């Protein structure tokens, strides 16, 4: 076994130490921090390093609708991966799988980011259900609207933060816009204005703002950017 293969095996062993596999939260958190440090040191975006192809990974029970899809697209961009959805028949229903394909170091990063972001989503949803903004709603419909606004704010802000923190890993084509290029805004019709007003009235702005605030509490470790951060923080914002 080569040195790189040994490092990859150690990272996967650390990542397997989860609460679902019988570890305590403290043990799982410590293992994730060690895995992040190893990934930053040996695998992520290291020019000239030995790069091996990796088998695609299939993530089951993934949340595939907006706004959660924003985060999976962010992982795809940050990890320079390709992704696709596959539906697999399970009994009378369907199980949706999110499949990522990338180089080995980038694949490890994609797995890691997905796991901790998915955990953060579950935690934020659970926390919001305890908040009066959600509890005081009288109907299922208004509660669903409040949760939708909350998670929209959360995912949009987290998407912005990921694009900012991992900006060095994003490759964007340079676009030159001529000085003469102008775009006159189209005036809304009366019908469109009424529709926009109705949407604004039923939109839960309080829940949206709380979602943005919750996204700020998710710790995205600098170790994952490829730098040599000391004591990488746990991604997922565990309390």
**pLDDT band at residue 60, thresholds of 50, 70 and 90?**
low
The structure's pTM equals 0.58
* pLDDT band for position 229 (cuts 50, 70, 90): very low
pLDDT at 141: 83
Model confidence at 50, pLDDT cuts 50, 70, 90, reads very low
pLDDT in tens, 68-81: 888 888 888 888 88
Strand order in the sheet with 82-90: 57-60, 93-101, 82-90
Residue extents of the structural domains in the chain = 3-170+191-225
Q: Which residue bears the tokens 């990522």? A: 100
Query: Which class for 134: exposed (0-12), middle (13-18), buried (19 or more C-beta within 10 A)?
Result: buried
């Amino acid at each position: 076994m080569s040195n790189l293969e040994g490092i990859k095996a150690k990272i996967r062993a650390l990542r397997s130490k989860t609460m679902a596999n019988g570890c305590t939260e403290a043990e799982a958190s410590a293992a994730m921090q060690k895995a992040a440090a190893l990934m930053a040191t040996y695998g992520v975006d290291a020019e000239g390093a030995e790069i091996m192809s990796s088998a695609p990974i299939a993530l089951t029970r993934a949340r595939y609708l907006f706004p959660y899809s924003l985060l999976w697209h962010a992982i795809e961009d940050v990890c320079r991966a390709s992704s696709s959805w596959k539906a697999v028949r399970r009994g009378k229903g369907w199980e949706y799988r999110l499949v990522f394909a990338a180089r080995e170091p980038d694949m490890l990063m994609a797995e890691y980011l997905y796991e901790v972001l998915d955990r953060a989503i579950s935690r934020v949803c659970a926390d919001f259900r305890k908040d009066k903004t959600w509890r005081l709603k009288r109907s299922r419909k208004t509660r669903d609207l409040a949760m939708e606004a909350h998670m929209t704010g959360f995912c949009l802000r987290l998407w912005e933060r990921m694009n900012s923190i991992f900006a060095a890993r994003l490759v964007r084509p340079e676009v030159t816009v001529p000085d003469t290029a102008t775009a006159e805004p189209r005036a809304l019709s009366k019908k469109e204005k009424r529709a926009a007003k109705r949407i604004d009235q039923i939109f839960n702005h309080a829940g949206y703002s709380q979602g943005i605030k919750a996204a700020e509490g998710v710790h995205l470790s600098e170790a994952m950017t490829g730098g040599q951060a000391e004591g990488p923080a746990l991604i997922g914002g565990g309390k």
